[in-house]
Amino acid sequence: MLDAPRVSEATDVPAPAPPRRIRKVLLGAAVVLLLALLVVPNELGRLTPAALLRIPIDGLAAVALAVLLPTRFRRVAVPVAGVLLGVLTILKIISLGFSAVLDRPFHPVLDWPFLVAGADYLRQSSGPAAMWAAVAGALLLALGLLLLVVAAYRHATRLALRHRTATTRTVATLTAAWAACALAGVQLVPGVPVAARDSYDQVIQVRTGAQDEQVFGALLSTDAYRATPAGDLLTALRGKDVVVAFVESYGRVAIDDPELSAQVGPALDAGNDRLRAAGYTARSAWLTSPTTGGGSWLAQSTLLSGVWIDNQQRYTTMMASDRFTLPAAFGRAGWRTVAVMPATTTAWPEGAVYGYDQLYTAPDLGYKGPRYSFATMPDQYTLHTFQQRERAPGHLPVMAVIPLISSHSPWEPVPKTLPWDAVGDGSVYDTAAGSDDPAEIVEKRDRDRVRHAYRNAITYSVDTLVSYVETYGGDDLVLVFLGDHQPSPSVSGQRASRDAPITIVARDPAILARITSWSWQDGLKPGPTAPVWRMDTFRDHFLSAYAR
C-alpha cells in the first residue's frame, strides 16, 4: 500500500497560534498601555518622550497591594484597585483633551460643567446628531478603556505573584527612587516631576476645591460699593448710554502674534482713524482673564461682579449670592439695564442675579437668517437689533452687556458686513453666507487655516463695533469692548498669557479725562507696555473713576 504523499515543509501552512498565546500577547500589550497611561502627564503641552520616564507611585502601590495582601483580601482588593486605576486613566484622558482646548488640566470636582458646555458646542455648531454621536462614542470609549485597564491590572498582578521575589525587589527599588526624586524635585521636563503622583494630586484637588469655597465666600462678602447711595454712583456718566461688549476669544495673541497682527493690527489702526475722524477718542489696556480657550461665562461674571471667578464652583456660589454687580450699580443709579445674549438659546435665570431690567436671549432677538456654525446670528444683527429696541429716539439712558459671538470657534463661516439699513430681520443673510467651509470641515483644518480663520473672525467683530459707533454713536454713547479670553491653544499656543485687550470709546472728552490716571494708551490697540490689570479689578476702577 502506497503512503499518502507528504506535503513539503516549504508548503506547510503554519498552525494558527493558540488562543491562549494570543490572549497573553494582548494582555501584555494592555499592561504596557496601562504603564504608559500611568506615567503620561495630564497636560498636552507637557507630553514629551522624556515625560514617559516618570515613576508612577500609584502603579507601584497597586502592584505592592497585589503582592503583599493575603489571598482572601486580594480577591476583593484587586478588582477594586483595577476599577480605581481605570477611573484615574479616564480622568487623565479627559484632562489631556481638556488641556488641548482650555490649556489647563481637568479638575475632577469643578470642571464637569465644561463637558456639558462642550456637548452644547457640538450641538450648536454641528447639530444634535453629531452631539449625540460624540457623547455615545465617548461613553463607549470610556467603558472600553475601563475594562481594558481592569483586565491589564489583573494580568499584571498574576505576573507579579508568579515572580513575587523579583517583583518585591523591583517595587522596593522604584519606590526608593520615587521618594528620592520627590524629595529632590527632579524634573526631566519643566513642570513634569519624575516622581509621578497623579492619584494623590487628584485627592489634593478635591480638598483645595472645598477650601476654595470658603475663601471665595469671604471675597463675596467684602464689597466697598455694596452700600453706596444711588446719588453717589456713576454720576459722571449720567445721561450716557453705556455698552459693555465682550468679543469672544479676542485675546492678546490677536495683537502680539506677528502672523495674526498682520491683519488684526491694521484693522484696529484703521478703525481708530475712522473713529477719530468722527470725533471719538479711545483708550486701551490689557485685562488678565480667569480663563482661556473657553468658559466665557467665567470671564463675564468676573468683570461684572468684581471678584475672581476661575471655576464653576465659584460661578455657582456667586450666582446664589446677592453680589453688587456692575449692572446692578447702573440700575441703582437710574439706568435701564439690559443683557443681549445671542448665544443663549434657553432660559437664563442668572440674568436676575446681575440685576437686568431686560434680558434678550437668542429666541427673543427674532433672527430669521442662517446660523454661522456656533454663532446663532452675526454680530452686526445683534447690535442692530439692540439699537432698534433700546436706543430708539427718546429712550431712557441704557446700560447694556452684549457678548458678541461671531468670533467664537470654529471661526468660520464669517458673515459679510452689510449696510446697517439692510440688516432687517436677518433673512438677507441667506444671500450673504460668508465662507463656504461648513463647521465639520473647519474643525478638521490644519493649524495655519485655523489661525487664518481666527484672525478673519476677530477682524469682522472689531470692524462691526467700529461701524456701529460710526453709525449709531453720538455724544451720549460710551462703548467698553474687550476680549473675554484668549483663543484655544490651537491658535495661541500652549502656555500663552491670559491677557485680553480692553478699550473705552467715547466722543465726550470728559469721559476719557476721568481715566487719565489709569495710563491707558491711545487708540484701539494696546501696546506691550500698556497696563495689565486682573479682570476682577475693573469694576472697582470703573465705579471709582465715574463716581461723584
pLDDT digits (tens, 9 = 90+) for 96-141: 888 778 777 777 777 777 788 788 777 777 778 888 888 898 899 8
DSSP character for 422?
Answer: G
pLDDT of residue 442: 43
Nearest to 254 by CA among 414, 491, 37: 491
Check: CB of residue 375 under 8 Å from CB of residue 406: yes
pLDDT grade, residue 431 (50/70/90)?
Answer: low
Helix (H) or strand (E) holding 471: helix 447-472
Of residues 23 and 311, more confidently modeled: 311
Stretch 431-457: mean pLDDT? 66
Helix (H) or strand (E) holding 272: helix 258-277
Contacts of 404 (CB under 8 A, 6+ apart): 245, 246, 247, 248, 342, 379, 382, 383, 461, 464, 465
How many beta carbons lie within 10 A of that of residue 20, not counting itself? 8
Of residues 517 and 157, more confidently modeled: 517
pLDDT of residue 419: 96
32-56 per-position pLDDT tens digit = 777 777 787 777 777 777 777 788 8
Class of residue 162 by CB neighbours under 10 A (exposed 0-12, middle 13-18, buried 19+): exposed
Contacts of 125 (CB under 8 A, 6+ apart): 373, 374, 410, 439, 443
Stretch 321-331: mean pLDDT? 95
Check: CB of residue 267 under 8 Å from CB of residue 414: no
pLDDT of residue 201: 66
Of residues 208 and 387, more confidently modeled: 387
Q: Please determine, for residue 266, whether its predicted confidence score (pLDDT) is greater than 80.
A: yes
pLDDT grade, residue 281 (50/70/90)?
Answer: very high
**Mean of the per-residue pLDDT values of the chain:** 87
pLDDT of residue 36: 79
Find the radius of gyration of the CA atoms of the chain: 29
pTM of the predicted model, to two decimals? 0.82
Helix (H) or strand (E) holding 246: strand 241-247
Class of residue 194 by CB neighbours under 10 A (exposed 0-12, middle 13-18, buried 19+): buried
- Domains plus CATH for the chain? 18-210 (no CATH), 223-545 (3.40.720.10)
pLDDT of residue 183: 87
Could you give the CA distance from residue 203 to residue 454 in angstroms, rounded to a whole number?
38
Could you give the CA distance from residue 145 to residue 345 in angstroms, rounded to a whole number?
35
pLDDT of residue 29: 75
C-alpha cell at 284: 486701551
193 DSSP β-pair partners: 187
Return the beta strands (E) in 355-506 as ranges. Answer: 358-361, 398-404, 477-483, 499-506
